[in-house]
Amino acid sequence: MRKEEKIKKVDKVGKVKKIIAVSMCSICCLSLGSTAIPGKVYAKDSNLVSADESNSVTEDNNLVGVPAQKVWTFKSLKAGTYKVTFSYARDWEQNVKAEETVTYQIKVIKKIKTNNSKKNKRKSANDIVILQKDAVNEVQVGQKFSVKLMENTSTGYTWNYKLDNDSVKLIEELSVETLNKDTKASVTVGEEFNIILSENGSTGYSWAYKIDHQGLELTNEDTINTNSDSNIVGAPYDKVWTFKAKKAGEYTITFSYSRPWEKETPPINTVTYNIVVK
């Protein structure tokens, strides 16, 4: 490359002393996609032509804009059929339709009949039921049940819920921590935590994980569409794994990104998380 073709950076006020003809300069702008506000460049002179546009991705999971999982835990007080509706919207946009609405159906009964068959074994009244949005969720009177949804407050959107009956009460609302792969995470026994990784199934690649000890348990696995147009074929998405710490100790979870059928080919990416359970 000739000396005059070396790329030059334009300073933040848009001034550059001299650019040699046919040479290249680069303008760096920060664009936070989660806010839906892109960085734009406007050329006053038509002789300036865009040669390339690229994205620089950071590995810092502590950046503003990283989604988190919200968990609402309810308790059923009386037998009956109930409904809880969650809406994902910006609080100040009163007359705008919610970006997403999710409805859960709950059937509360006095007592669930026991069955010795493992296939039909139901949860006891002491277990917390995780509600499924595409089913009628059956729980016992006095039993706790939870709703888990991903939320990104940096976009201005938050989840709000409505109950159709006061026989169901909210008893807890919390955010589940998302682990950073570059640090040793510390959690307490019984606490849940998330791991979020980007995946693109259209390439054939997917994440698989291994835990070095039974002191950690997977409690939920979910997929989040990160593209505004969910109909785009080949668009990447986020995978969310929720684990629960069952026993004190130090553990490692290793994620490998590979094509499952390529048994002899090493993964193209490996991510390791270190967890200390107290």
For position 19, what pLDDT does the model report?
A: 40
Report which of 190, 195, 86 is spatially closest to residue 148, judged by C-alpha positions.
Answer: 86
Tell whether 163 is covered by a domain.
Answer: yes
Q: Same domain for 187 and 161?
A: no
Tell whether 61 is covered by a domain.
Answer: no
Indicate the residue among 17, 32, 56 that finishes a domain.
56
For position 227, what pLDDT does the model report?
A: 53
Indicate the residue among 128, 145, 176 that finishes a domain.
176
Please give the residue range of the domain that contains residue 275. Answer: 179-278
Q: Same domain for 49 and 129?
A: no
Q: Same domain for 46 and 83?
A: no
Q: Same domain for 44 and 103?
A: no
For position 45, what pLDDT does the model report?
A: 46
Tell whether 217 is covered by a domain.
Answer: yes
Tell whether 158 is covered by a domain.
Answer: yes
| Claim: this prediction has a pTM higher than 0.85 | no
CATH number at residue 190: 2.60.40.2020
For position 16, what pLDDT does the model report?
A: 43
Q: Same domain for 183 and 163?
A: no
Report which of 81, 76, 125 is spatially closest to residue 103, judged by C-alpha positions.
Answer: 81
Q: What tens-digit pLDDT sequence spans the chain (278 residues)?
A: 444 444 344 444 444 444 444 444 444 443 444 444 344 444 444 443 444 443 433 334 444 566 777 889 999 899 999 999 999 999 999 889 999 999 999 999 987 665 554 444 455 566 788 888 878 999 999 998 988 888 888 889 999 999 998 889 998 887 777 777 767 888 899 888 888 888 888 889 999 999 888 889 998 888 776 554 455 667 777 888 889 999 999 999 999 999 999 989 999 999 999 999 99
For position 121, what pLDDT does the model report?
A: 46
Q: Same domain for 70 and 139?
A: yes
Q: Same domain for 25 and 74?
A: no
Number of domains in the chain: 3
Q: Same domain for 77 and 169?
A: yes
Indicate the residue among 123, 151, 176 that finishes a domain.
176
What does the alpha-carbon distance between residue 77 and residue 89 come to, in Å, rounded to a whole number? Answer: 29
Q: Same domain for 220 and 256?
A: yes
Question: What's the distance, Cα to Cα, between the start and end of the chain in Å?
Answer: 57
Q: Same domain for 203 and 269?
A: yes
For 228, the token pair is 């505004």
For position 113, what pLDDT does the model report?
A: 61
Q: Same domain for 156 and 117?
A: yes
Q: Same domain for 38 and 50?
A: yes
